[in-house]
Amino acid sequence: MDTVPSTEIAAGHKAMNEDIAALRAQVDALTGDRLHPVVVAGADYAQSAVDWVESGAERWVSKIRDRPLASIGIAALAGYVLAAMRRR
């Protein structure tokens, strides 16, 4: 059985690590170019969703402030309906 000298193993290990580093850099470059627009689009979509929810919340708050008694009545009615449904 032939043995491989440790210098050859070390050289092969070093070359393999260099190849892996080069491949990792190539993968990062390829996915970075492709993923960046997706990440930016996702962030824009998330921000628009946040803006939509905030504007809806502001509308509800203004309606509740305009008619507080009606809001309390609606909340009480909703609670009654939910309680009635739960009893069945």
Q: Where are the domains of the chain?
A: 6-87
pLDDT tens readout for residues 13-40: 888 888 888 888 887 787 777 777 777 7
Locate all alpha helices (DSSP H) within the chain, ordered by sequence.
6-66, 68-87
Give the per-residue pLDDT at 41: 84
Look at the pTM and tell me if it is higher than 0.85. Answer: no
The residue length of the chain stands at: 88
Give the per-residue pLDDT at 81: 96
**Token pair of 68, please?**
């507080």
